Structure 1
Amino acid sequence: MQNLETTIASLMKRDEQLAAKRAVAQDTLDKAISARQQELLAGDLDDQHALDKLQGAVDTAASTLAGIDDALAALAEQKAEAERQLAAERERGARAAAADKLHKQVAAIEAALPGYLEQSRVLADALSEIGHWHFESGQMASFVQNTMGQVEMAANFSFAELKAMPDAVREGRQAIPGEPAPMPVAVAEPEPPIMTVFMMRTAKYRDSDGRSRGAGQWQDVTMPMATAQLALDKGIAVPLTDRRRAELRGTRGGDFNFQAPDVIDLDTVEEPKNAPHIGPVLLAANFTPLPTAEPRTILIDVPRS
């Protein structure tokens, strides 16, 4: 195989050298043809010696180019034949290795089978000794005996085929057995960064999976880092170290309506429409206006004097 690889490398180098010579020969031919044409167009047509000389230059250049082309064609055939022989030799090597591997695998199976059958008989006999009074043991004994019989019968048919396969692979009458596909390796994606903050206002947001989540007022809420930082910047939440957390945490209970009009959407960071405006002073004081009823008009009787 190494000799063929050396031969192919030598042929490739020769091909490069001939290709360079062909470029020079083509240029020489082009110049000779151009000189002959120029002489025929503007030279002395009675000067046969000069015309013959120019024609000889064209003939020589054309012959040189044709010779190089012939050599390149022959070189291509030699290279193709060497590559074919190299591929065939590599295939023979691969088939020989695969055949040897398969032969060892079949031999290992053949060597392991008697031990398996013997141990199966021992197990079946041991289970049968108590199977007359222990139902499950009797069932296991029957199962082992049945399986043992099926394996032994299948082996009698399979071994004849398996033993013939290495020679078939070696001689090219059967494809080389493929290797088992590698198991895909699961790559754990890093968890997105999160942050826990203390909510001063009721809000809603979307988590890293795109699911809608609610963040109740005066509760600790863990959310994506960017969302938590935004809530802190807008005064909608405070850090867990804020002193107000110790006083207010959980005092509102857990009954929240995250569809209410006063709930802040942290994904848009817009105050909800038609919601009462809460200035920075009230926000700092943790004051939340209670909803008021609609105004009503009633008639009362007033005594007249």
Structure 2
Amino acid sequence: MLENSVNGEHTYACYDLTSDDNLVDELASIVRDLYVDDLALSSALVEAAKGLDSVCDESAIAKVIDEVAIAVIPQVDPQSKVPKHLQVPRNEVAEVLALYVLEQIHNFSVPSSRIRNKEVSGLPSRGLDVLGLTPNSAVVLTEVKASSSTSSPPAVVHTARDSMHAETLRRLNNRESVLGELHWALKHAKSEAREATARALLLHGLSKAPTPTVAPVLVRAAGTYKPSDFGNFANPSKEFGQSPIRFAVIRLPGTLEDFAAVVYARAAEQAA
């Protein structure tokens, strides 16, 4: 952790990432799981193999799974006509980092992911970037932005029309929006997360839900972070009500494009 400050119930922290192999492996595992459910795919292929005349052993099935991973996990392509900053890995890696922050740093759960359940592959998803749940079934609203701007705070924090601040308040003060996000999460949740998600949906539907938590995640390129990056979140308005803020800035060791390229390449390389 590079910096941490507290304002009442609110916390503001900056985490300095390094190009540590263990961290890259952890993030790559998240990416791998978002694109390829190795266990479910393996189970399906083992079952399918029973109907084949030829014997299909575990190593052959693992090879197929690895080939699927290479086929479906997007990579940064330096030869593409699409600029690196518009390619899928660059646009997704900030959300991958947000998943890591919510689960590993804040100890919240994330029942489902927009990346795993994209409506159209390769295009941005609609809706809240990440929906989390606290242990007592409160909703965690997470807007995710990445910025290489030298301005502090960057416009994506609170001055842009679709800033983290604007999007967070739009959802925080809209009960129907929160119910819609919870319903979407329940439809797409893995089996182990369905009960907790359904409980949160029921509590919100009955207007008995705990106070939501706001947990923005801002990803910054190396050399761009300043303590003022938290913008208006550092002095929250009355519109936030009693919601605690857990703002995390993630500072990368280099550019977002280079970091995304390393993580997504590692995700495709991981063996089933």
Which structure: greater strand fraction?
2
Tell me: higher relative CO, structure 1 or 2? Use CA pairs within 8 A at least 6 residues apart: 2
TM-score (norm 2): 0.17
Indicate the structure (1 or 2) with the bigger Cα radius of gyration: 1
